[in-house]
Amino acid sequence: MKKYAAYGTVLLFTLIYILSFVDRQIVAVLGTQIRDSLELSNFQIGLLYGPAFSFVYALAGIPMGRIADKTSRKLMICTGLFIWSLMTVLSGFAASFAFLVTARIFVGLSQAMLSPAVYSYLADAFSPKHRATVFSIYASGIFIGVGLSFLVGGTVSLQYDWKVAMIVVGVPGLILAPLTWFLVREPDKTKKADSGEVNIVTDLRTLLSKKSVVFHLLGFSFLACMGYTILAFIGNVFNDIHQRPDLIPLYGWFMFGVGVMVILSGKIADKLAQIKPERRYYMGVFAALGGVPFYALGLYADTPEMAFLFMGIGVLFASSYNGVAAAIIQYFVPSRKRALAGGLYLFVISVAGFGVGPPLTGWLIDFVFSGPLAVSHSMMTVIAVSSLGASLFLIKAMKYYNDDSVSEYAVID
C-alpha cells in the first residue's frame, strides 16, 4: 500500500475504534441514570458494563482472530461496526435489565470482529519498526471514544435521558459502516497460511508456551483491570461521593489527553526498542506506577474539584499503555498468526478488565465497605493490587523477550 493511503486507513480504523468505545463505554457514563431508572444495584451495573459485554467479547475474540487470518478483514470490520451500532440504538428502547444484557451480548460479539482484523491489517501494511507507533495511533481511539461517550452521552442524558443518549451515540456507526466498505482496500498478507497448518488449540498452546507471552498477558491484564474499574465507577465518585453529576461528562476531556499520551507512549517505545527491543515494556511499567498516587489523592479528596483534577491526571498516566501492549504481542508470532495473537490478547485483557474489575469493585461497594467512602475504598483496593501485579509481571516479561520473540521481528529494520 502507498504510504498516504495506508495512514488514511489507520485514521479510518481509528474513527471506527472511537465509535466502538463510545458504544462500549456509554453504559458506565449512564450507569447511575440506568441504575435509578430500572431500580438496579451497583453490582448489576458492574455486570452490565463488565461480564455481559466482556465474556462474549473475550470468548469470541480468538475465533474471530482465526477467521480474520483466513478471510476478508474488511468484511469483518464493516459487519461488526453495523451490528454493534444497531444494538446500541436498540438499547435506547430498553425497559428491563434483561433487554440491556441481551443487547450488550450482541455488542460484545460484534465488537470482537474489529480489533483482531485491524491488528492483522496494520501489521501487514506497516514495517516492524513503526508498529508500536501505528498501533498506538489506533489505540488512541479508545480514549477519544471514551471521552466522547462522557461528553456527548453524558450531556445528552442530562438534557434528555439515558435512552435518547443511547440512540444518539449508536446512529453514526450505521452511517459509517457502508462508507468503510467502499473506502478500505485489503493489503496483501505477508504470508499465506499453510494448507497443513495446525489447529487453533495447538497454535494457542505454542504461543502460551512462551514465558514472555504469559507474563505479557498477565501484566497488561492487571492494567486493564485498573483502567476499566476507573471508567466503570468514575461516575460514582462524582455522583455518590461529591453529589456533582455535572462533572461526569466533563471528565471526558481527560480522555482526549489520554489519546495523546497513548500515541506518545508508542513513539517512545519504538525509540527505546532501537536500544533494546524488550525496553518497550518500560512504558507498561510506567503506566502501572505513574497514575496510582494521583488516583489516591483523587479518591480521598475533600472537594469535587480536586477529585476531578487528580482522577484526571491519574488516568493520563495509567492508561497510556494500550497501543504498546497490542503491538508487542505481534513480535512473538509469525505473520500468518497475527490476528490470532491479537484475539488472544483481547480475550485475556477483556476477561480481566471488563469481567473482573467492574463487578469486583461493585461487589466491594455493596457488600464489603460501607459509609460515604465505600466507593473510594473499593476502587483504591483494586487499583493498588492491579498496579503491583502489572509491574511485577511486565518486568518478568522483559527478562524472556529475546528468547521468545520471532527472529524476523526481533531486529529493528
Burial (CB count <10 Å: 0-12, 13-18, 19+), residue 237 = buried
Long-range Cβ contact pairs of 404-407 (< 8 A, separation 24 or more): 404/210, 404/211, 404/212, 404/213, 404/332, 405/212, 405/277, 405/331, 405/332, 406/331, 406/332, 406/333, 406/334
Q: What is the mean pLDDT of each run of 10 residues along the chain (413 residues)?
A: 71 92 83 82 76 78 78 88 94 87 90 86 75 81 83 83 89 94 73 51 86 95 92 88 87 86 90 91 96 97 96 94 86 78 80 79 90 94 96 96 73 37
Cβ–Cβ < 8 Å for 231, 119 = no
Taking the CB of residue 304, how many other CB atoms lie within 10 A of it?
A: 16
Convert the pLDDT of each residue in 306-320 to its tens digit.
Answer: 999 999 999 999 989
Cβ–Cβ < 8 Å for 124, 190 = yes
Task: Give me the pLDDT at residue 3, please.
Answer: 63
Which of 390, 345, 365 minimizes the C-alpha distance to 225? Answer: 390
Taking the CB of residue 369, how many other CB atoms lie within 10 A of it?
A: 16
Task: Give me the pLDDT at residue 188, please.
Answer: 60
Taking the CB of residue 179, how many other CB atoms lie within 10 A of it?
A: 12
Convert the pLDDT of each residue in 333-387 to its tens digit.
Answer: 887 777 778 778 878 887 777 678 888 898 999 899 988 899 999 999 999 999 9
Cβ–Cβ < 8 Å for 181, 55 = no
Quote the cell numbers at residue 313: 491526571
Cβ–Cβ < 8 Å for 84, 111 = yes
The Cα 364–Cα 369 span in angstroms is 6
The Cα 321–Cα 194 span in angstroms is 34
The Cα 283–Cα 394 span in angstroms is 10
Residues across the chain: 413
DSSP code for 367: I
Q: Which helix (H) or strand (E) holds 236?
A: helix 211-236
Burial (CB count <10 Å: 0-12, 13-18, 19+), residue 34 = buried
The Cα 345–Cα 329 span in angstroms is 8
Cβ–Cβ < 8 Å for 51, 64 = no
Cβ–Cβ < 8 Å for 355, 54 = yes
Convert the pLDDT of each residue in 205-244 to its tens digit.
Answer: 888 999 999 999 999 999 999 998 998 888 889 988 999 9
Burial (CB count <10 Å: 0-12, 13-18, 19+), residue 303 = exposed
Roughly how many angstroms between the first and final C-alpha of the chain, as a whole number? Answer: 18
* Whole-prediction pTM: 0.75
Domains and CATH numbers, the chain: 3-187+200-410 (1.20.1250.20)
Sign, CA torsion 107/45/91/256? negative
Taking the CB of residue 386, how many other CB atoms lie within 10 A of it?
A: 25
The Cα 34–Cα 127 span in angstroms is 45
Task: Give me the pLDDT at residue 249, please.
Answer: 79
Which of 168, 32, 27 minimizes the C-alpha distance to 103? Answer: 27
Which of 256, 365, 369, 234 minimizes the C-alpha distance to 304? Answer: 234
Task: Give me the pLDDT at residue 4, please.
Answer: 62
Rounded alpha-carbon distances, angstroms, from residue 351 to 61, 168, 355: 11, 28, 5
Task: Give me the pLDDT at residue 10, please.
Answer: 87
